[in-house]
């Protein structure tokens, strides 16, 4: 594909036709209330379907199974969203965070070991946050002590999404406790089946346990699991965080602008007891118009980020702008959904785990939307990055 208009329209027709034949019929109902085993099996099968079509990792380099232009990626995610295809939830960290890290800072051996395995279904988790090192990631305490040609790791990780299903972990650990906070951290690839690794799901008030704790007790990581240089893990982590804040937003923005807004319009048009329709309220119409305008802006920002990333001209704060914009727009959208859906919406306490944050289960989507102003750096962190790296403002003074 050259990326011309005719080529892109042909590609759009190809993806649309593929979706008609391969998006599982009735998957939302079938996945609602599904067991962990059923969820994992469904996600693995869907990943294999996308992989066979060449749609699983369009953002990867061609030599590793990707190679789509930025314009093609936009079309792909537009059509997957418009055709209500399931999300790749289980593979998300692997195909985005792990791949970005390996491609930016991994050795050739590490890439050859893991990138084909990811395409074959290897699942990854991100082991960054800790009980007292969430937003202040550089304050992490998990330690990695060199012992010959390996490292001995001890500590605890928290909010590790999907850790219960993971094969490998992107791990940050402190290798020099005497160095300044950002200077003594190293980056590792850790096999989750290693002796001393214990995963404990964190069950929330809804009974879900997507988040997990990871306890590390004398876990041995071979030297080949080190990414980059010892004590240079902070720099490597920026590749992971950039992926989390930037390129992943393209798909999420298209899903919010398609399925998310569609569910919202349907909810606003639905008559409630007494015959009231939220759509008949001028205030609701005004909020819908503003949200639609904001979604168009978000999608435009994401497309621009993809194009600039492809051209090598992306700015140091561009990914933070997109992440901040998406997360807060998501919250505003779900807030209106809960408001107009009425009391009946509060009875819906299940949603398909293979959906995003725009499932139409408004209360659950609203609660879930608040996750997005925390992972990958809180909104406050993003604003600091935008101010300092994007606008060149002075750094905030250190706390006394």
CA-closest candidate to residue 161, choices 219, 222, 93: 93
What angle is formed at CA 396 by the lines to CA 395 and CA 400, rounded to 5 degrees? Answer: 130
List, in order of start, the domains of the chain with CATH numbers.
5-90 (1.10.540), 99-231 (2.40.110.10), 246-390 (1.20.140.10)
- pLDDT tens per residue across span 111-170: 999 999 999 999 999 999 999 876 788 899 999 999 999 999 999 999 899 999 999 999
- pLDDT tens per residue across span 318-342: 988 999 999 999 999 999 999 999 8
* 2 pLDDT tier (thresholds 50, 70, 90): very low
Tell me if residue 208 is catalytic. no
- Which of 30 and 356 is assigned the larger pLDDT? 30
Q: In angstroms, rounded to a whole number, what is the distance separating the alpha carbons of residues 29 and 24?
A: 11
* pLDDT for position 148: 96
Is the pLDDT at 357 greater than 90? The verdict is no
* C-alpha 373, offset from chain centre: 12
Q: What is the mean pLDDT of residues 353-375?
A: 88
- Which of 357 and 68 is assigned the larger pLDDT? 68
Catalytic residue among 79, 244, 254, 358: 244
Here the contacts of 250-253 (C-beta below 8 Å, separation 24 or greater) are: 250/73, 250/74, 250/77, 250/302, 250/303, 250/305, 250/306, 251/77, 251/80, 251/81, 251/87, 252/326, 252/356, 252/357, 253/295, 253/298, 253/299, 253/301, 253/302, 253/322, 253/326
* pLDDT for position 231: 97
- Which of 234 and 244 is assigned the larger pLDDT? 234
- Which of 344 and 72 is assigned the larger pLDDT? 72
What per-residue string of b and e applies to 127-138 under the rule 16 or more CB within 10 Å gives b?
bbbbeebbeebe
- Which of 239 and 222 is assigned the larger pLDDT? 222
- Which of 304 and 175 is assigned the larger pLDDT? 175
What's the chain's average pLDDT? 92
Give percent of the chain above pLDDT 90. 72
- Which of 48 and 74 is assigned the larger pLDDT? 48
- pLDDT tens per residue across span 239-284: 777 765 566 788 899 999 988 899 999 999 999 888 889 999 999 9
Other C-beta atoms lying within 10 Å of the C-beta of residue 265:
13
- pLDDT tens per residue across span 76-104: 999 999 999 999 999 999 999 999 999 99
Q: What is the mean pLDDT of residues 357-374?
A: 88
* pLDDT for position 98: 96
* pLDDT for position 308: 86
Give percent of the chain above pLDDT 70. 96
* 398 pLDDT tier (thresholds 50, 70, 90): low
- pLDDT tens per residue across span 155-211: 999 989 999 999 999 999 999 999 998 999 999 999 999 999 999 999 877 677 888
* pLDDT for position 1: 38
The answer for residues whose C-beta is within 8 angstroms of residue 199's C-beta and 6 or more apart is: 160, 163, 164, 166, 192, 212, 213, 214, 215
């Amino acid at each position: 594909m050259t990326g011309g208009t005719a080529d892109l329209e042909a590609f759009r027709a190809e993806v649309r036709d593929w979706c008609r034949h391969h998006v599982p019929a009735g998957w939302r109902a079938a996945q609602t209330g599904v067991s962990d085993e059923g969820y994992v099996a469904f996600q693995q099968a869907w990943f294999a379907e996308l992989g066979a079509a060449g749609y699983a990792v369009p953002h990867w380099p061609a030599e590793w199974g990707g190679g789509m232009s930025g314009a093609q990626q936009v079309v792909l995610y537009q059509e997957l969203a418009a055709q209500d295809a399931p999300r790749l939830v289980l593979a998300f960290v692997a195909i985005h965070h792990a791949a970005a890290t390996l491609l930016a800072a991994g050795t050739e051996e590490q890439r050859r070991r893991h990138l084909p395995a990811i395409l074959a279904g290897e699942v990854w988790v991100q082991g960054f946050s800790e009980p007292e090192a969430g937003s202040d990631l550089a304050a992490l305490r998990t330690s990695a002590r060199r012992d010959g040609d390996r490292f001995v790791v001890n500590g605890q990780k928290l909010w590790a999404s999907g850790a219960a299903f993971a094969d490998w972990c992107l791990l940050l650990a402190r290798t020099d406790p005497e160095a300044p906070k950002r200077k003594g951290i190293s980056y590792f690839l850790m096999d989750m089946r290693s002796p001393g690794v214990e995963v404990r799901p964190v069950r929330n008030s809804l009974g879900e346990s997507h988040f997990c704790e990871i306890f590390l007790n004398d876990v041995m990581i071979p030297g080949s699991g080190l990414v980059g240089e010892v004590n240079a893990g902070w720099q490597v982590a920026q590749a992971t965080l950039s992926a989390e804040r930037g390129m992943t937003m393209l798909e999420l923005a298209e899903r919010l602008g398609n399925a998310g807004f569609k569910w919202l319009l349907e909810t606003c048009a639905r008559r409630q007891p007494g015959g009231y329709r939220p759509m008949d309220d001028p205030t609701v119409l005004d909020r819908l118009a503003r949200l639609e305008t904001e979604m168009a802006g978000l999608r435009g920002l994401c497309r621009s980020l993809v194009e600039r990333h492809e051209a090598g001209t992306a700015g140091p704060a561009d990914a933070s702008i997109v992440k901040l914009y998406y997360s807060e727009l998501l919250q505003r959208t779900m807030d209106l959904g809960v408001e107009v859906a009425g009391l009946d919406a509060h009875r819906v306490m299940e949603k398909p785990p293979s959906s995003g944050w725009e499932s139409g289960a408004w209360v659950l989507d609203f609660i879930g939307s608040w996750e997005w102003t925390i992972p990958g750096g809180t909104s406050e962190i993003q604003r600091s990055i935008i101010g300092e790296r994007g606008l060149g403002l002075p750094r905030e003074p250190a706390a006394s």
